Amino acid sequence: MIRVAAILMLYLFAASPVIARDLYVAPIGAPTHVDPDGSDARPYPSLADAFRMTTVNGGDRLLMREGSYGPLVLGGLDYDRPVIFQPVPGEIARVDYIAVKNSRNLTIRDLHVIPDQPTGQRVLVQTDSVSSDISFEGLHVQSRPDLEYRAWRFADWTGPMAVGGVRLNGPRNRLLDSRIIGMTTGITSTGVGAQVIGNYLSGFSADGLRGLGDETTFVGNRIEDCIKIDGNHDDGFQAWAPRGDQAGATLSGLVLEQNSFIEWTGPPNHPLRCVLQGIGMFDGPYQDIRIRNNLVAVSAYHGITVSGAQGLEIVGNTVVLIDAGISAGHPWIMIGNGKEGTPARNVTLVNNVAMRFSDRSGAITTPIAAENATVVDLVSAFADPLQLDYRPRRGGPLIDAARTLPGWDQDINAGARPLGPAPDLGAYEVQ
């Protein structure tokens, strides 16, 4: 029995996971120790030294002391559990950019990504196409130290420090609860199963979001302040089906839910203010697309436009003309066939509010006016549109006017629906 017990104890010890450790790392220029061991008192001189001097295991945390670390380039790291890179709690760790290559299961959390000079990078935070299960959480990303992007000149937006924010190229990568400020394109995902959730993008000169990978989720993001520097038709969100060698393939499984796309929040006469399109999905074909509970406040014609979708749900969105009390007939919600003639089929268009609706596909079989609301006078319909408050005005025509749908039980703020006898039309539910 003693031998059996000993064998069992050995088996349990061998099968138990390695206990996760906190490994401390010093920034550039910090005093070094003769015998660093990764402890709080004797941190490793750099992240490279940490990986050179010890075996980093899944579950370990690399705690970065306050200071600057230069570029953060991580390559060839593959773990069964996430290895976490983060500042020491309460401290600020700054890097010039982040590049993840050929790696799996890394979490990079709460870093400031702010270069103080050109880096040669086109994007400040990115993964390559073979890196998977990489999670960026709580990052603060700026293209330059000067935060006041509304004071930047044209040359600042087009010069060597004009860069993109985040690009997720591999499968199942994530960007969560991060701030992205003063970019060309804000956030792009190309990998399958990406998640872009709870982020704030302010100041961008191309597209805010781009979703180019299957099964990608964009939820709870706020996109605002578009800058005009060239002839690009700037979009709050843009997607297109595969091109080149994969031309004709379908982009499928996109989810856009509880996002806000606001063209401009600053002085209305700013010389670089753009005319923003909202959600643009022009070059299909698409399959199984869900667009729910989004706010689109823009001045371009296209509020939400989807072409060539097979299985499309557009439910409970608010699409309004920004800076205006009376509609000029746009922005609209539009359904169309694909550029190559792919017909739109199996489309649900219900409980939306917009300045106009258009079905150029013939895919909608129920009367649009009976299922949605066309708003002409924003002041009578919304709480305070001149202050960008697009909640339904209490006692107005949008209150309790929507159709109850299975699974449509939250609004743009994740509040419960309905709060009255029936849901409110559009993205917001009010008491």
Q: Specify the pLDDT at position 245.
A: 67
Q: Specify the pLDDT at position 289.
A: 98
Reference 262, options 296, 237, 234; nearest CA is 296
Q: Is the peptide bond before 242 cis (omega within 30 degrees of 0)?
A: no
| pTM, entire model | 0.94
Q: How far is CA 35 from CA 20, 32, 174, 399, in A?
A: 22, 9, 37, 68
- Using CA atoms, how far apart are residues 384 and 270, in angstroms rounded to an integer? 22
Reference 207, options 152, 281, 135, 156; nearest CA is 281
- Using CA atoms, how far apart are residues 207 and 277, in angstroms rounded to an integer? 9
Tens-level pLDDT at each residue, the chain (431 residues): 333 333 333 333 344 456 899 999 999 999 989 999 999 999 999 999 999 999 999 999 999 999 999 999 999 999 999 999 999 999 999 999 999 999 999 999 999 999 999 999 999 999 999 999 999 999 999 999 998 999 999 999 999 999 999 999 999 999 999 999 999 999 999 999 999 999 999 999 999 999 999 999 999 999 999 999 999 899 999 999 987 667 778 999 999 999 999 999 999 999 999 999 999 999 889 999 999 999 999 999 999 999 999 999 999 999 999 986 556 689 999 999 987 778 899 999 999 999 999 999 988 888 999 999 999 999 999 999 999 999 999 999 999 999 999 999 999 999 999 999 999 999 999 98
**Kindly report the CA angle at 232 between 212 and 272, in degrees rounded to 5?**
120
Q: Specify the pLDDT at position 6.
A: 39
Structural domains in the chain, sorted by start: 59-392 (2.160.20)
Within 13 Å of residue 180, how many CA atoms lie on the same side as its CB? 37
Give the residues across from 150 on adjacent strands: none
Q: Specify the pLDDT at position 244.
A: 66
Residue 83, classed as helix, strand or coil, is strand
